[in-house]
Amino acid sequence: MTQENQTTAAVVAIERAGDHVGQTVAIRGWLYNLRESGKLLFPIFRDGTGVLQGVVSLKEHPDAFAALKGLPQESSVAVTGKIQAELRAPGGCEIHVSAIEVVQRVADSDPYPIQLKEHGVDFLLDKRHLWIRTPRQASILRIRADAIRAARNFMDDQGYTLTDAPIFTPAACEGTTTLFEVNYIDDQKAYLTQSGQLYVEATAAALGKVYTFGPTFRAEKSKTRRHLTEFWMLEPEAAYLHLEDMIELGEGLVSAMVQSVVKSRKRELATLGRDVSKLENIKPPFPRITYDEAVQVLQKAGNPTKWGDDFGGDEETLISKNFDKPVVIHRYPAAMKAFYMEADPKNPNLALSFDMIAPEGGGEIIGGGERQSSYETLVKRLREHNLPEQAFQWYLDLRRYGSVPHAGFGLGLERTVAWICGTEHIREVIPFPRMLYRVYP
Amino acid sequence: MTQENQTTAAVVAIERAGDHVGQTVAIRGWLYNLRESGKLLFPIFRDGTGVLQGVVSLKEHPDAFAALKGLPQESSVAVTGKIQAELRAPGGCEIHVSAIEVVQRVADSDPYPIQLKEHGVDFLLDKRHLWIRTPRQASILRIRADAIRAARNFMDDQGYTLTDAPIFTPAACEGTTTLFEVNYIDDQKAYLTQSGQLYVEATAAALGKVYTFGPTFRAEKSKTRRHLTEFWMLEPEAAYLHLEDMIELGEGLVSAMVQSVVKSRKRELATLGRDVSKLENIKPPFPRITYDEAVQVLQKAGNPTKWGDDFGGDEETLISKNFDKPVVIHRYPAAMKAFYMEADPKNPNLALSFDMIAPEGGGEIIGGGERQSSYETLVKRLREHNLPEQAFQWYLDLRRYGSVPHAGFGLGLERTVAWICGTEHIREVIPFPRMLYRVYP
């Protein structure tokens, strides 16, 4: 291990290399790939912002040639060279290398374990700390970061105040079967949050329009492509707002996330081979159908769903095939929904709830609705659901002291990003996925 | 519970009421306080964005007078009235109420538990879901949200990519005594993260400059004013950057957070009675002293600290009294620091580490430094610290495959916000504080 050279050329990020055509610059990164062809070497470098192809000539730069020849993949290197336009190269330019400093040479006896070939997914998940270096995974993570930034900016611009819900909670929000139990201090027990909703209902009564955006946890024994035990949710809640307001907010939020990625992450979407025209189309308004209409759509398509059934992944995909934008399904049967849902005044068998289903089989990305604001009804519901009334006293306080109509929703970050990226499995869209039998690395 | 009136007047947020002087508007919120004086009522309303004083005349608006008279505190109300300039009022205006719709009347038999008087802190923490409605607590939460927004924008603008570190981790980062253990699925064990650092070291090798910003957990049996069991940390990490770069990044980050709050949250800082001139001064560069110099400062002040001792809260406060900006203390004795710290090439007994101590007794808000990049040294350190080598294999991979110099730090959000707000205890700067014996509400 040597310190990198203090080169006189300015260090530039690969994603900005195209701005420096004709200039000699320095790149600090890693050797992603190397092709040798007689007296020429064709390396590909990466620095975290992108990949850059290079060329090294034995005749012109024998020292650089010697340093690079046979260098194992993923060795770290500081490279100096001139940027030249090259339309065939990714990014439209390449570097003509004049000097190379090897920062750390990967041992020939212990080569980088991820080769430029297909590996099994279990192997790649075991090597997740290295797998994220590949262009596809790195692109997904950059898209995730951009989608998060866009989501936060949108919420802030709409006047919503971020109020982080706690991770440690004293009781279950919707039953205990999928809760993770923590050994708290001195033999106390605590549970990891499944949703910040009850807490943002409290902060909405203090601050008006609020949201929480953090990790949530479900101990579900599901191995589907849409399940993680640890995932991020964005949950807005607003006093004095109603179902319709939340559907509009959800449309605006999803559209802001998608359009930001389309605008700022063109290169990454190209790396993923994503059909960008499908994303460019994602602008409000989104189609809206009632639960009743959704059941009809399914039945017409030959699906055996009956009124009162919940929709699984297959049904969501079937419905979404009718639309080229996310579809909002509203007014589900009240019996299917959580105890805190407000009933539709026009039909008390229906809840003022909605889900948003992503197109292209992306599944449910938003679920929400209007909350029960009557103290008496809420107590009745808690009893009907056999929930521990004592643990909900603080939540009932929100109806004792200045109850107001209020509504909100939860957006699942990983499902949304997976749909934007066009990835099959959501395990690829979080840096370190946690699943049924995986908490490593 | 009645639905609020569909009034024809436009609904405005109280924080924007001053823009509507002379207009009739609607406010939707809660009755924060009420003073009665014969044929006049002087209510104070709040809506989450601020408080607005009002006046209701029996003669002019008998219906509104009747609806408001005797109305218990925190009843929810939809108010219509004309905004008038009133220099003596907070916000510079008041509302002359013409109509009031009581959305929910708090029962006279069960009044709002938090009165406009002093309560004990245990009582207030038990009622945290209501306590956050008071102007002081609501102001702190709005300042927190603004500081978070500023921090994220600063990091994004500096080219850092957000990569969320996992909450579930397989092993301890720095020993197991302060780890929370989780009952994972099928009798597996997992631990809650104490720091995302090791993970952002991996993502930095993939993406160059990265950060994580999420909740972290310490099962510390500390009851000091600076400890929570659940708190948020912002942790940047950058490949090819060094100690000096991280000190500069930390200065820029802290300054960006403070200056954003000074600019955007004037009203809230005034509510807290904060001396804003002290915050306006927080701009780079910050003073820097070595650990050696810090020991001398302490000894001159009569403190018994010897070279090699760590600094506690008292020492931090003593040092910070010499400065009106955060002070950077760098190059601590290597023996005091974690196994992953890089040694100072000029003196291997010192670590390339730094802490940043907030002024006014705010304590340590940043700790960080340059990471050990040599595989051999890191293995040696793991053994010296009796850490389980097997659990760190993935972390050692980062030194096997393209190791590079890299550095980072962790900023404690709550300590930073507590200092900005001038609050004594950090439990006030998180919506729902989790402490030694508190996971409720």
In this complex, the residue of A106, A166, A402 whose CB is nearest that of residue B30 is: A402
pLDDT of residue B175: 62
Q: What is the 3-state secondary structure (H, E, C) of A215-247?
A: EEECCCCCCCCCCCCEEEEEEEEEECCCHHHHH
pLDDT of residue A177: 77
DSSP annotation of B119: -
Residues of B within 8 A of A156 (CB-CB) are 145, 149
Whether residues A258 and A167 share a domain: the answer is yes
The ipTM of this complex is 0.96
pLDDT band at A221 (very low <50, low <70, confident <90, very high): confident
- CATH code of residue B220: 3.30.930.10
At position A420, the amino acid (one-letter code) is: I
Q: Rounded to whole angstroms, how far apart are CA atoms A155 and A249?
A: 9
Interval A140-169 mean pLDDT: 98
- CATH code of residue B61: 2.40.50.140
At position B241, the amino acid (one-letter code) is: L
User: Cβ contact (<8 Å) for A221 and B182?
Assistant: no
Q: Is residue B116 part of a domain?
A: no
Q: How far is A299 from chain B (nearest CA, A)?
A: 37
pLDDT band at B3 (very low <50, low <70, confident <90, very high): very low
- Residue A121, SS3? helix
At position A425, the amino acid (one-letter code) is: H
At position B384, the amino acid (one-letter code) is: E
Whether residues B92 and B223 share a domain: the answer is no
pLDDT of residue B221: 84
pLDDT band at A5 (very low <50, low <70, confident <90, very high): very low
Q: What is the 3-state secondary structure (H, E, C) of B364-427?
A: EEEEEEEECCCHHHHHHHHHHCCCCHHHHHHHHHHHHCCCCCEEEEEEEHHHHHHHHHCCCCHH
Whether residues B258 and B350 share a domain: the answer is yes
pLDDT at A1 over 50: no
User: Cβ contact (<8 Å) for A439 and B169?
Assistant: yes
Q: How far is A419 from chain B (nearest CA, A)?
A: 19
How many domains, chain A? 2
pLDDT in tens, B350-373: 999 999 999 999 999 999 999 999
The chain-wide mean pLDDT, for chain B, equals 95
pLDDT of residue A8: 79
Whether residues A81 and A137 share a domain: the answer is no
Residues of B within 8 A of A104 (CB-CB) are 373, 399, 402-404
Whether residues B224 and B298 share a domain: the answer is yes
Whether residues B133 and B85 share a domain: the answer is no
- In terms of phi and psi (left: phi > 0; alpha: psi -120 to 50; beta: otherwise), the region of A376 is alpha
Residues of A within 8 A of B180 (CB-CB) are 182-184
Contact B238, B160 (CB under 8 A): yes
pLDDT of residue A222: 79
Of A104, A136, A156, the one marking the end of a domain is A104
What end-to-end distance do the CA atoms of chain A give, in Å?
25
Whether residues A168 and A238 share a domain: the answer is yes
Whether residues A197 and A135 share a domain: the answer is yes
Contact A165, A201 (CB under 8 A): no
Of A72, A104, A136, the one marking the end of a domain is A104
In this complex, the residue of A103, A130, A437 whose CB is nearest that of residue B397 is: A130
**pLDDT above 70 coverage of chain A, percent:** 97
pLDDT in tens, B88-103: 988 899 999 999 999 9
pLDDT of residue B224: 81
Residues of B within 8 A of A197 (CB-CB) are none
Q: How far is A325 from chain B (nearest CA, A)?
A: 28
pLDDT of residue A173: 55
Q: Rounded to whole angstroms, how far apart are CA atoms A236 and A53?
A: 44
Give the nearest chain B residue to A182 (CA atoms): B182
Which is higher by pLDDT, A12 or B7?
A12
Q: Rounded to whole angstroms, how far apart are CA atoms B159 and B210?
A: 8
In this complex, the residue of A31, A170, A183 whose CB is nearest that of residue B439 is: A170
User: Cβ contact (<8 Å) for B137 and A206?
Assistant: yes
Whether residues A218 and A361 share a domain: the answer is yes
pLDDT of residue B437: 87
DSSP annotation of A334: G
pLDDT in tens, B116-152: 778 999 999 999 999 999 999 999 999 999 999 999 9
In this complex, the residue of B28, B165, B209 whose CB is nearest that of residue A431 is: B165
Q: Is residue B57 part of a domain?
A: yes
Interval A189-212 mean pLDDT: 97
The pair of three-digit structure tokens given for residue B409, joined into one six-digit string: 């730090």
User: Cβ contact (<8 Å) for B104 and A373?
Assistant: yes
For chain A, how many residues are written? 441
pLDDT band at A437 (very low <50, low <70, confident <90, very high): confident
In this complex, the residue of A1, A129, A142 whose CB is nearest that of residue B161 is: A142
pLDDT of residue B186: 86
pLDDT of residue B297: 96
Structural domain for A175, as ranges: 128-429
pLDDT in tens, B303-337: 999 999 999 999 999 999 999 999 999 999 999 99
pLDDT at B5 over 80: no
pLDDT of residue B4: 42
Whether residues B93 and B183 share a domain: the answer is no
pLDDT at A388 over 50: yes
A334: Cβ–Cβ under 8 A, 6 or more apart, which residues?
A: A341, A343, A344, A348, A349, A350, A351
pLDDT in tens, B172-210: 555 667 899 999 988 888 999 999 999 999 999 999 999
Q: Is residue B356 part of a domain?
A: yes
Q: Is the pTM of this model over 0.90?
A: yes
